[in-house]
Amino acid sequence: MHALSIPTWIIHVSSVIEWIAAIWLIWTYGEVTGNRAWRSLSWAMLPALVSAMCACTWHFFDNATSLEWLVTVQASMTVVGNCTLCAAAWWIWRSSQSNASSD
């Protein structure tokens, strides 16, 4: 747990908490508006959350070499998360175009 300073830990943990809150708020927005594309954004955010949790876990255990596989999982989840976020953004854009043309 000594791999990071206290201020850095605060940033890491608060970022994870903020990301969880953002997922919940976006899901709620999707329910309120009835636009399922926004709920897909919530699902698309999960790989990035897993990535952040892998980083926090690895640092918590002082970057132990036995847990280096977490670095690979983190990198993989970052790539997957970027792709899913891109797809969700496209879906939101497409749904807004459909709604604009039906008005």
pLDDT digits (tens, 9 = 90+) for 66-99: 999 999 999 999 999 999 999 999 999 999 988 7
Q: What is the pLDDT of residues 4-49, one digit of tens each?
A: 899 999 999 999 999 999 999 999 999 999 999 999 999 999 999 9
Distance CA(54)–CA(69), nearest Å, equals 10
Q: What angle do CA 22, 28, 32 make, to 5 degrees?
A: 145
The tokens of 44 are what? 């698309």
Q: Could you give the CA distance from residue 46 to residue 49 in angstroms, rounded to a whole number? A: 5
Max Cα-Cα span within the chain: 58
Contacts of 64 (CB under 8 A, 6+ apart): 58
Model's pTM, two decimal places? 0.88
